[in-house]
Structure 1
Amino acid sequence: MIDHIGLTVRDLKVSKAFYDAAFAPLGVEVVMSVTADETGSYGYLGYGPGADSRDIQAGKPSFWIGGGETLTGPMHVAFVAATRAQVDAFHAAALAAGGVDNGPPGVRPHYHPNYYGAFVLDPDGRNIEAVCHAPA
């Protein structure tokens, strides 16, 4: 159901130091970094089981931290969609229910070539996403 969760942090460098230390005993580390240039807004760090882990999710970021303003909410939650059509339908339904567009359905190649997601702000301003990782 949940693909990943993200938190907005005040200071990415300070938060990285904290999470690096806290997650080290769990075998969790930064497995993806996305720059502000790539997103057009803020930089983000994605944590997950290290690539050398035996975990089935090795190398996949499931917990993100990033800079930002609270305009897009202090939290981001992404839900798994089986198909790109489900992502499109999620976006349309969320807008019809009063959500605010925060990124239309589309490929986000800075995450990976098949990352197809859509973003809406819920009534409290939280950034809610549906994402499909399957190829087109």
Structure 2
Amino acid sequence: MSDENPSILSHVSIGTNDFARAVAFYDAVLTPLGCRRVLDFPNAVAYGRQFPEFWVQTPIDGKPATVGNGTHFCFIATSKQAVDAFHQAALKAGATDDGAPGPRPLYGPPYYGCFVRDPDGHKVEAHFWDTSLGGHEGA
């Protein structure tokens, strides 16, 4: 695998008010997507396939973590089955459903995804982009 990072962003960090619960949740839901813990600290854990791209941590300022209205983050799945497995793992690990797996024609024919709310209330998405169905014209 190349050492060049293919990501557009360095990383995303989310806060939690129950670190152990949040880490257990993301350990469970990121495994079906081929992600693992890349770095592990007492109050922060980083996940990725190769690089630390997604962090779960207690807020560094010591104040309670809050959820952003209109904010969500999305993980890339390698298949529709991985999206389904992510959704099932998320619900089993304490998430609430915020959009069952399936196509979203509004997002383009190749899109297949799902949405959940993690135990802290963050909106989380997993999606698969089926390139055999064409691209997103004009994007």
With normalisation by structure 1, the TM-score equals 0.46
With normalisation by structure 2, the TM-score equals 0.45
More strand by share: 1
